[in-house]
Amino acid sequence: MDVSVDTVKRLTIKPESGQSLWVFLEGYGPGRGRLTVIHDGDVWSYYWGAMGERTPTLETFVPDCHPDYLLRKLSPETEKWIDDLDNLVADARKTIIESRRENSLCMSEARVLYNRAKDLEEGTLEENSDLLYDIYGDEWWFGLPKKENPEYRRLIGLFSTVQEGIRKAVLMEEKV
């Protein structure tokens, strides 16, 4: 039976506003480690098998990363941009006008689509897929208006706080 004992650093970060964050730094040797962040009932964790020679520990690697990089590792399902359904009717009408100006639509087709665009306020995207196809084309889902995902912005701020907390912890250790 093999038994190993590892050291895990646990940081408690108390931001000026909001709930505390718990950050666990698990080093598995030079250039390898796992970062785990717990906040408000949510948990994010990622293992790095290689961090490079310049930053051989999590304490030096994580603070140097771009917050977007950390977000993509810790929460890969969080998209930066999401569909802006609040502006769908206005964007659809703008697209119809542009298509008419480019002579892609005749005047009567454009008028019908322009009036039908109001129907996009009701139902789901799937229920309106025929109308969206007529307005945006074959791959209509790529033409939908976008806005920045508020969850993305929140997590960027959260992971930036984690980075700052790790920097402060490293400075505190250096003073001891």
Tokens 């912005």 sit on residue: 153
Q: Answer whether 23's CB lies under 8 Å from 35's CB.
A: yes
Per DSSP, 57 falls in state S
Identify residue 23 by its one-letter amino acid code: V
Which among 70, 31, 64 is positioned nearest to 48, based on CA atoms? 31
For the chain, how long is the longest CA-to-CA vector? 80
Q: Write the DSSP string, 80-129.
A: SEEE-GGGHHHHHHHHHHHHHHTTSS-HHHHHHHHHHGGGGGSS-TTTTH
Angle between helices 129-136 and 88-101 (to 10 degrees): 40
DSSP-derived pairing of the beta strands 33-39 and 21-27: antiparallel
Q: Phi and psi of 15, rounded to 5°?
A: -70, 165
Per DSSP, 75 falls in state -
Q: Phi and psi of 101, rounded to 5°?
A: -65, -30
Mean pLDDT, residues 79-87? 94
In angstroms, rounded to a whole number, what is the distance separating the alpha carbons of residues 15 and 8? 22
Mean pLDDT, residues 85-90? 94
Mean pLDDT, residues 63-73? 96
Confidence band of 78 (pLDDT split at 50, 70, 90)? very high
Whether residue 176 has pLDDT greater than 70: no
pLDDT per position as a tens digit, 113-168: 999 999 999 989 999 999 999 999 999 999 999 999 999 999 999 999 999 999 99
Mean pLDDT of the chain: 92
pTM of the full predicted structure? 0.78
